[in-house]
Amino acid sequence: MKYLKKSCFILFYLKLFIVLFLFSCTTNQNNDNDNVVETSTNNKSEKALDKAKIIFYSLPSPVEMTLVLQSANTEYNEEFLNPLIKIDDYSTNKSLALNLGVYSADLSYCTLFNQQQTMIKYMSATKKIAENLGITDAINDSTMIKLRANYNNKKAILDIISETFLNSNAYLEENDRAEIAALIMAGGWIESLYIGIQLSEKNVKKNPELTTVIIDQLIAIEDLVGLLELYKNNKNIASILPNIIELKTIYFDINEKNRESSYLKICNKIEKIRSNYTQ
Amino acid sequence: MTKKIILVLVLTLLLPLFSIAQCKEFAKNEGLPLLGPYTQSGRYHALLLYEGEQIKMYKTLTKGIDYRFILSVGDGLPQNTNFIIMNWKKEIIFDNAKNDFDKLFDYSCQKSQRVLIVVKVPRNNNSEKEKSACVSLITGFKKTE
């Protein structure tokens, strides 16, 4: 009898856990039919029967963002990086995830500008943060060995950085921690923009090519908001979402007449958000 | 009996995690080798799809960057899976139905824009049982030369 009671108890909690688990897995599925896209193989009956539309938001990775910044005739300045001394201050999942993104962007920036010594230090930093987040396979000792072996091969190093980013995201998604991956993306995107605005000296006229790249990111901010909103019930995501939405509002106010003042507002907001992430 | 029930429940619980891991592995083996000179964008968009299901992906493209889009469809699903890329005006940039259901598309971005990528697995009305397999969408980028 006692054994039966215990089994029922276990079964009840297992069922409850399964229901909660399945509910959590549907957060990235959009069942709305408002955006059904007419494709060439569609017909009306198929359209009516369409199942869940799974939506992904693909932001530029830190490597892609810094590549864009480099294209705009910019120079390297180590002062723009988040100092490594702060690394021990990050202990919560939120601060670790955001700063894994931040350091990944810094890593891409110093690699693109051939700063190999700094690159090794920042890769070690991202490895440490990833370990603290419980992502042990994404950046391991063999990554560091590969990095040192390709010390002078920029393309190979960028591929290694991208691979670590890919592996971190995959690991987190496989372990039902996709909201952490979203925080990493947010941190990386904000840091890339922070480097960009520092390079532009917050002056829209200083480097028009660069400021165009930064202003063009109003396209990406929509994807970042979309990505974060998938996990808005998570308290860490909920805590960063309002500032990103405010940045989106500032971005969407920009026009030819107010370009100079709006650009400055964008810069100030990005600096504030970056300061919150890295403090 | 109870042990068997618990085992079934545990397996049911772990199944979604297995399929996520399995589809990431599928993307790694099928999609990544096709990147060539492009650097992958940092995320596998891979999951188990059934016939009649559709994926949508919003992607920001930046001026001065070349992109490669790679669709991989597992053996269990029809290989005439439709793959469309549209700009913000919903104008079609690429439709693989007009290109022999090609699963690879290269695009040189001249103007920063947000594109919508749609992957739609056709429904097989003759099949009694719905089939499923992994589908992955991988993007790569490189600086325009």
pLDDT digits (tens, 9 = 90+) for B62-112: 888 999 999 999 998 998 999 999 998 889 999 999 999 999 999 999 988
A49 and B97 within 8 Å at the Cβ level: the answer is: no
Q: Does B113 touch chain A (CB under 8 A)?
A: yes
pLDDT of residue B12: 57
Question: What is the strand order of the sheet A53-58 is part of?
Answer: A29-30, A53-58, B54-61, B113-120, B82-86, B92-95
User: For A178, which residue in chain B has the nearest alpha carbon?
Assistant: B43
Q: Tell me the ipTM for this assembly.
A: 0.80
B141 to chain A: which residues are within 8 Å by CB? 64, 67
Q: Using one digit for the tens of pLDDT, what is the confidence trace for B13-63? A: 555 555 778 898 999 999 999 999 999 988 888 999 999 999 999 999 988
Give dist(CA A216, CA A159) in Å, integer. Answer: 25
The β-bridge partners of B140 are B40, B68
- Which residue segment(s) compose the domain that B65 sits in? 2-143
Which residue, A178, A152, A170, is CA-closest to A233?
A178
What is the helix (H) or strand (E) element at residue A112, kind and residue range? helix A93-112
Of B16, B42, B84, the CB nearest to A166: B42
The domain tally of chain B equals 1
pLDDT of A258: 92
Which residues, given as ranges, of chain A have pLDDT below 50?
A: 1, 4, 8-9, 11-50
Contact between chains at A61 and B16 (C-beta distance less than 8 A): no
Give me the count of residues in chain B: 145
Q: Please tell me the distance from the alpha carbon of residue B31 to that of residue A153, in angstroms, as a whole number.
A: 24
Give the bridge partners for B58, in sequence order: A57, B116
**Residue pairs spanning A and B at CB distance below 8 A:** 164
Label each residue of B45-94 as H, E or C.
EEEEEECCCEEEEEEEECCCEEEEEEEEECCCCCCCCEEEEECCCCCEEE
Which chain A residue lies closest to B120 (C-alpha atoms)? A39
Whether residue A1 lies within 8 A of chain B, CB to CB, comes out as no
The whole-angstrom separation of Cα A84 and Cα B47 is 37
Nearest chain A CA: its distance from B94 CA (Å): 11
For A101-126, what is each residue's pLDDT tens digit?
A: 999 999 999 999 999 999 999 999 99
pLDDT per position as a tens digit, A248-277:
999 999 998 999 999 999 999 999 999 999
Q: Domain containing B76 — which CATH number?
A: 2.60.120.380
Among A3, A174, A213, A254, most B C-beta atoms within 10 A, so best to mutate, is A174
The minimum CA-CA distance between B105 and chain A, rounded to whole Å, is 17
Amino acid code (one letter) for B136? S
Of the pLDDT bands very low, low, confident and very high (cuts 50, 70, 90), residue B143 is confident
Quickly state the pLDDT bin for B125 (edges 50, 70, 90).
Answer: confident
Distance from CA of B1 to the nearest CA of A (A): 10
CB contact under 8 A, B120 and A52: no
Question: Is B58 touching A (CB cutoff 8 A)?
Answer: yes
